[in-house]
Structure 1
């Protein structure tokens, strides 16, 4: 079984969906070097996370740094302009506030 571990910041407060699971997005930034002025440059990926741990809803607020591990699902889609995009959904088994 695949396992993915990420550390990042919540893009918005977690939302309880159909009183069954939490859904939220995590921004994961990677250092990619410096620009011409010497400023650090980062690339940010957004990971959609779903969790059955409904009790965490009050703690998962926008901007919080968290660690998540779980099973990933990778997919692709084409937008309205015909551009191909990749998407990662993570089904959380462990969530830790940093």
Structure 2
């Protein structure tokens, strides 16, 4: 089995479709990598991943809106196609097994922090807010005394 993990922002609001009696939530995730090239210039490279989450738990779709940061994990696949101009193209597809909402534009404290995977129930979803996260200043020890 090949497993892929992506952290990125949703490129548009998700779409909920019904295919042969099963629900699928389709969305795209953009992961942007920032780096310096050999001349020292700042560069950016964005990779778009098309995601398909086959699930009956479609209530999470209200939280999958453009700009939200998510963590998705699943099995990757590559789809080949021919563009209108006749050139070959390929798309990176991810069949989602796990999804976690991390944040993004317009965060609300009422949004679920994680969504259930296939083996869990909807009551297992927990609500968290960003105020529960500790910051570096919450610790009594000086930051410069790290062992590494």
Whether TM-score is above 0.5 comes out as yes
How high is the TM-score relative to the length of structure 1? 0.85
Which structure is higher in strand share? 1
Identify the match of residue 22 of structure 1 among 20, 25, 35: 25
Equivalent pairs, count: 97
Deviations 1:48-77 (A, max 9, x none): 111124231011111000000001111222
Change (3 A) 1:79 1:32: farther
Identify the match of residue 84 of structure 1 among 84, 88, 94: 88
Following the alignment from structure 1 to structure 2, what is the Cα–Cα distance between the partners of residues 24 and 10?
7
RMSD (Å) for aligned C-alpha atoms:
2.1
User: Where does the alignment leave 5 or more consecutive residues of structure 1 unmatched?
Assistant: none
Higher RCO (C-alpha under 8 Å, 6+ residues apart)? 1
How high is the TM-score relative to the length of structure 2? 0.59
Structure 2 counterparts to residues 1-98 of structure 1, below 5 A = 1-18=1-18, 20-33=23-36, 38=41, 40-51=42-53, 52=55, 53-98=57-102
Change (3 A) 1:43 1:54: same
User: Where does the alignment leave 5 or more consecutive residues of structure 2 unmatched?
Assistant: 103-148
